[in-house]
Structure 1
Amino acid sequence: MHLSQSLGKKSQLLEYSPFTQDIKQEYPVLFEAIEKTVNKELAGDQAVLSEAFVSFIALHFMVSLNRDSQMRTVRVAYVCATGIGITNLIQQRIASAIPNIELVGFASIDDARALIAREHPELVISVFPLKNLEVQVIEVRPLPNAADIAAIRGAVAKKLQVPLAQIKSQQPVVPIRPKPNLEQQTQQTILTMFSIYSELKQQLPTTIDPYYGDAFMMHVFLAVQRIMFDKQYQGKPNQDDPKLVGTVEHVFSDHGLAINRAEVHAILEYLSLSHEVPQEGDDTTGRER
């Protein structure tokens, strides 16, 4: 399969990443190892031979870093399709830029309202739109950009009743020290992630909304990781279309991976998502304009 055809010619994820330079400076060994693997194994797919794509893969290996928190904080809940995976990436990115946040929990779309009712967060940060909630919701991109961070920083400063300048970034996290055989360890994983993502895009009958395209890609990558390490998402029973369930299960099984129904359900949720541009004066998302 020619993977670049599945990605399309105008994938913003492959053309630009706001984190590339930071990752190259702070995690040079990790970046170099992944870049070498991508250039070697995906040499025939020019669409992925970019530093932006390498930086995205690097983010996948940085989820476990930096869980510090000090000072007076705002209680925050994070929401994505499963409540794990991508949400961890968002939390790590935001926590490094805004230390005045206390995590009260991760939630899937299905479980978001229950988490909010139970934990009473002061702020909800979500990859997807959430409406009709009393708590403020800030919708962010799959990889939060400067505008997303600014919106969250402004909301935190307002809730803490402090000047915006007082909400300062943390010092850089301690770099990952990869093992010498990192290239060998990541090679097969990267290829499997990429192949499954491409096949799902090709075989699922509904086109993913472009706004959520990067989120879908990251979700599939992290789902593969969870299956490989026996950490699959455990959710409530659902009534998904059996044909769609079979399609997803077949794609994963072709790569020797057994995906459970909760993970399948989370993937299929992307088929029904559509992004609506907020109207002027609509404060439900909390995004600054």
Structure 2
Amino acid sequence: MQLSKRQIKIVNHLLDNDRPLTTSQLAQHFKVSVRTIKYDLSDIKPWINARQNVLISKRNKGVWIQANGQEKSLIKRSLLKHKKFDYFPDPKQRAQQIIVLFGLTDGYMTTQQLENKLYVSKTTVVSDLNTVERQLNRYHVKLIRKNYYGYTITGLEANIRSVLEEIVQSTVNHYDLATIIDLFSVKPLEVKFGISDELDAIYQRIFKIVKQLKILTATSLDYNDILTIAIRLGIAVARLSINRPINSYCPVSIKESEKNQLPYQLFQQVFNCYDFSLLQDEYAYIANGPNANLKDQNIVVLTEKILNFVSTSTGHPYQKDNQLRTNLFSHLMMKLTSQYKFTNEYNPFVADVKQKYPRLFHAIYQVTKKEISANPAVVNDSFITFIALHFLVSLEKYVNRNHNIRIVYICSTGLGVTNLIQQKVEASLSGVEIAGFASFVNAKKEIKRLQPDLVISIFPLKEVTVPVIEVNPVPSNQDISKIKQKIADLKEIPEELLTPNNQTLATTNKREETVSRDLIIKGFTVYEQVKAIMGHVINSKYQDALLLHILMSVHRIYYDQQYQQVTDINHAFIKFIEPIKQVYLNNGLEINDSELVAIIEYLNFS
């Protein structure tokens, strides 16, 4: 049986994890529903079983593939036999296929030819060409539309090869890099990356030549360098096959010592295999990529530019971390001054970094694009992520030594609704702790005594030196966003680091489950009757807060946990005491004076 692209990714993800993963974790990782994951696992299980391995699923534990290291490697090799686009490629994947078709074709391609190649309708092809055009524009390559002829692409050869290289690299990164490299040293397999049959055939031959040269034991280059050189050789062969050289036709001229090194040996063997002349510019492209003439960088100055730009863009003082400065300098020195620049590097953290730290990722992209290269094949997601990891190490150290933000919660009485606010905030954000609760009446006194970092209140507070955020009785997403932004500012860290507090959330959910349906219904009944008595004098802004307060008061009465401290009451509102008390009694609830006064307090804000 064939696996879909997502199912291949799921198998790889399970193989890469040493611990079980729940269906919820898989669903979150692949951004699909739990039901979809379960359907995929039901297809994956027989595929795994057919290879004498077992996909195990246990309730409350998760899913995992029972296999040792060697067996996992064999499973990954089996995945390489699948074409990447066997099952309904999405628009981005079809766009990649179309670009490769253009890159391997001498002349125009008609809509009909594209339909036949991709097995889709004319409407789909026309729509996909818009995606193609956007991707090409990033590389300053143009999509040409010509009536009666069809479509083709035009631009500098280096730019066209750059976009092709990114597509091939992203396809290779779809698999585990170690498994791809393993192809160089084991019995030849039928490799189908699914980009195009022509490129698959070229890379099959290149892999065989690498194996024959026994490169892995005869060179100091790492696997990433070898793979990148192989990728560029495939692109060079494909383009020269349609008479598209990188630049000139000057014959290669290098030192004798360099001829004994891997890049030249592989270049010579592959070009001789295809009966191509050994050209200087082609060799330079294979060894150094499309930016062979990229000027040398002053790494010290570059390091400072990156640190300063990222610090300014994210609002975090990265430039103060000397250890980060040293680590970043070493990384850039290694990447930018090596003999073979900008090699493909598989980076399993790309998706997580882009999703969890978008501001950091974007800032690094902007500055490296400006200071190193605007070519997306050079400054790609993997390149950016490796730099981002150095910044994240610095950020983690800063967060670990940073204190929690102490918060005081304010409502009419300092109890009741503030508990709900506290639960929602602590379930939504990490890095906070309770400094205390206060009523509106004694808010200033308590704030002065507790010295919090932040005050959260359902009522407006004036003449308070501590930052105050006014929220709804049950904080909305907008309220949480305001709180999150303020806490991030106080801690001087990016908002992305303020993750949900899972432990608090679990405790909150458990607490909420203890509230019975009868109490909720009774509480709502009491609220409707109380609102009928005093609703005409309550500000509509605080009616939701009153509802929650009454629900909580019913809960407290039922569990014998009523307020005990009586505060002064505005004489203008005494007339409401007896009617409200009678409402509670009519519903089988004996309410005390403290609870009554707490309800009447809501009239003070109307």
TM tier, shorter chain?
0.5 to 0.7
Residue equivalent to 1:263: 595
1:220 to 537, 550, 553: 550
**Selected match of 1:247 from 564, 579, 584:** 579
Aligned equivalents of 2:511 and 2:474: distance in 1?
A: 23
The answer for the alignment partner of 2:529 in structure 1 is 199
**Mapped partners of 1:223, 1:247: distance in 2:** 16
| SS at structure 1 position matched to 2:510 | coil
CA distance in 2, matches of 1:97, 1:176: 16
Match of 2:430 in 1: 99
1:176 corresponding residue in structure 2:
510
Q: How does 1:86-165 map to 2 (within 5 A)?
A: 86-165=417-496
Contact 1:204 1:247 in 2 (8 A): no
Partner residue, 1:72: 403
Letter in 1 for 2:474: L
Task: Indicate if the aligned counterparts of 1:206 and 1:271 stay in contact, CA closer than 8 A.
Answer: no
Moved more, 224-233 or 108-117: 108-117
Aligned partner of 1:281 in structure 2 is none
2:421/2:475 contact within 8 Å kept = yes
Distance in 2, matches of 1:152 and 1:176, equals 24
Q: 1:250 to 1:121 in 2, by over 3 A?
A: same
Describe the superposition over 1:65-113 as per-residue Cα deviations: whole angstroms up to 9, x where unpaired: xxxxx97311100011222221111111111111111101111212222
Q: Is the 8 A contact 1:75 1:122 kept in 2?
A: yes
**TM-score of the superposition, structure 1-length normalised?**
0.64
Distance verdict in 2 for CA 1:166–1:205, change over 3 Å: closer
Compute the displacement of 1:196 (Å): 0.8
Asked if the contact 2:404–2:431 (Cα under 8 Å) also holds between the matched residues in 1, the reply is yes
Partner amino acid, structure 2, of 1:239: I
Contact 2:556 2:562 in 1 (8 A): yes
Distance 1:178 1:151 in 2: 25
Counterpart code for 1:79: I
| Identity in percent | 35
Q: Whose helix proportion is higher, 1 or 2?
A: 2
Number of equivalences: 202
Q: How far does residue 187 in structure 1 lie from its aligned partner after superposition?
A: 4.0
* 8 A contact 2:405–2:433 mirrored in 1: yes
Please state whether the residue corresponding to 2:536 is helix, strand or coil: coil
On the 8 A contact 2:562/2:592 being kept in 1, the answer is yes
Once the two structures are overlaid, the 10-residue window that deviates more, 227-236 or 76-85, is 227-236
Distance 1:150 1:237, change over 3 A: closer
Residues in 2 aligned to 1:78 and 1:103: alpha-carbon distance in whole angstroms: 8
Contact 2:454 2:466 in 1 (8 A): yes
Question: Is 1:231 matched up with 2:569?
Answer: no
- Write the letter of the residue equivalent to 1:252: Y
Distance apart, 1:207 and its partner CA: 3.4
Task: Map residues 45-60 of structure 1 onto 2, 5 A cutoff.
Answer: none
Counterparts of 1:170 and 1:229, CA distance in 2? 28
The question of whether the paired residues in 1 share the 8 Å contact of 2:567 and 2:597 is answered with no
Backbone CA RMSD of aligned residues: 2.5
Who wins on radius of gyration, i.e. which is larger?
A: 2
Asked if the contact 2:566–2:597 (Cα under 8 Å) also holds between the matched residues in 1, the reply is no
Kindly provide the amino acid, as one letter, of the partner of residue 256 in structure 1.
G
Task: Could you tell me which runs of 5 or more consecutive residues in structure 2 were left unpaired when the two chains were aligned.
Answer: 1-32, 34-399
Q: C-alpha separation between the residues in 1 aligned to 2:567 and 2:416?
A: 20
Aligned to 1:49: none
Q: Secondary structure of the residue that 1:125 maps to in structure 2?
A: strand
How far, CA to CA, are the matches of 1:247 and 1:114 in structure 2? 33
